[in-house]
Amino acid sequence: MQYGHLADGSCNRLFLFFCILTRSSLFNQVQRYTKIWLDKKIVLLQKTEKDMIKIGDRVKFLNDVGGGIVTGFMGKNMVYVENEDGFEVPYPVSKLINVDDPSLNRGEPVTEKPEVIPSVLQKEEEPSGGIVLKGKDSPDFYFCIVPFDSKNPVGGNINLYLVNDSNYIVLYQYAHYMIDQYKTIKYGEVKPNSRIELEVLGQDELAELPDYYFQLICFREEGKEAAPAVSRKFRVNPVKFYKERSFQPNSFFQKNALIFQITNSVLSAEIDKLTNDDLKKVLKAKEKEQPEQKIIKSAQPEIIEVDLHIQELIDNAGGLSNKEMLDLQIEKVENEMRAAIQSKAKRIVFIHGVGQGVLKQEVAKLLRSKFPKYSFQDASFQEYGYGATMVILRK
């Protein structure tokens, strides 16, 4: 009995050791095959992301009629496609069919090719200011809008500046004006021949811009005349931020900018000093010099732009519900369509913005129901971003 007990114990320990050894070997085998499978999967995914679609590929739209050529990348899952009419439209990669290489149509996302950018972003160097320059005796002040990238203004931050292009010292107040109320954003002093940053706009702020209000008092330490105080308000159309041509080269910044003059030019100031008698004399002399005017027939408009932002349609939208504002916008679309057809324009673009897409859907619904014989599509992304619909009235 005693030997039998020892034998049974030894067998149990041997069996337990065998099980542990077997499980360890099995675990190693599973781990090895799992690693091989994962390595193959990573290679496959890398190949798919790299080779699925390239710039220059001919593609067709999966759920829409038509297609075009891929001209660029937009994020991880979107590309730009130039259609037959020459317009670039953004489109999801998963909704495209690669005509050049059908074997790559897997519907998987494509990664954007990395853009080579400097390791340190170059910031505009602020001029030291406080320097009196010869020939800068006129009080010239400017409100400047400078995007980080003027070729894609809404792709990054947008800086707003006050530029003092004169030998005057400026005390300023900068404010937002919305719904009959001012809100001061910044105030202070700007030295002669210098500039100051007012604020930075993000893309999410472009949908609803305030009016920009300035109050300026300028003076010199020594001078013959005191310059008058200046009060000026600017309303900037949001569409300008989606147009590359809105931003031009200038002498104030290394980058292209949208520039508004706050003060009147010297010529305008001199005209203001004229008396009524002086103006009458100038007008009479001008009438004698004017030759007979020939009647010139006005050319038919090629394209008409209609901004549907509510602040462009009425002065004050306070108190209106969302439905009432939408009704005004749709009524504007219908009236402008009839006027454009009557004037025999070729195309008309309705700028509705991005938002939640409600206005865009209602515009499309109206066009299908009341103007079914005219085709429409998204307007050029380069010109208007995502926020515009173009109607083709005639070819």
* In a shared domain, residues 307 and 352: yes
Q: Is residue 124 part of a domain?
A: no
Parts of the chain with a pLDDT under 50 = 1-6, 42-50, 107-123, 266-267
| The pLDDT value given to residue 104 | 55
| The pLDDT value given to residue 118 | 39
* In a shared domain, residues 167 and 200: yes
Q: Is residue 74 part of a domain?
A: yes
* In a shared domain, residues 379 and 282: no
| The pLDDT value given to residue 129 | 59
**pLDDT digit string, tens, across residues 63-79:** 777 788 888 877 667 88
Rounded distance, CA 217 to CA 229, Å? 5
Rounded distance, CA 70 to CA 91, Å? 10
Whether 154 and 241 have beta carbons less than 8 Å apart is answered as yes
The packing angle between helices 358-370 and 322-342, to 10°, is 40
State which residues form the domain around 89: 58-104
Q: Is residue 353 part of a domain?
A: yes
* Ordered DSSP codes for 66-132: -EEEEEEEETTTEEEEE-TTS-EEEEEGGGEEESS-GGG------PPPPPP--SSPPPPPPP-----
* In a shared domain, residues 152 and 274: yes
* In a shared domain, residues 65 and 43: no
CATH number (domain holding residue 67): 2.30.30
| The pLDDT value given to residue 50 | 40
* In a shared domain, residues 161 and 262: yes
**pLDDT digit string, tens, across residues 230-248:** 999 999 988 888 887 889 9
**pLDDT digit string, tens, across residues 289-299:** 655 555 555 55
Q: Is residue 196 part of a domain?
A: yes
Q: Is residue 109 part of a domain?
A: no
* In a shared domain, residues 165 and 256: yes
| The pLDDT value given to residue 151 | 83
* In a shared domain, residues 283 and 145: yes
Bridge partners (DSSP) of residue 162 are 143, 196
Q: Is residue 116 part of a domain?
A: no
Rounded distance, CA 60 to CA 81, Å? 10
The 3-state secondary structure of 214-273, one letter per residue: EEEEEECCCCCCCCCCEEEEECCCHHHHHCHHHCECCCCCCCCEEEEECCCCHHHHHHHH
Whether 256 and 150 have beta carbons less than 8 Å apart is answered as yes
Say which residues have a Cβ less than 8 Å from residue 130's Cβ, sequence separation at least 6. Answer: 191, 192, 193, 194
* In a shared domain, residues 152 and 201: yes
User: What total number of domains does the chain contain?
Assistant: 4
Q: How far is CA 187 from CA 122, 124, 361, 372, in A?
A: 27, 21, 43, 54
| The pLDDT value given to residue 111 | 41
Q: Is residue 322 part of a domain?
A: yes
* In a shared domain, residues 40 and 67: no
Point out the domain boundary residue: 287, 322, 341: 287
Q: Is residue 297 part of a domain?
A: no
* In a shared domain, residues 165 and 225: yes
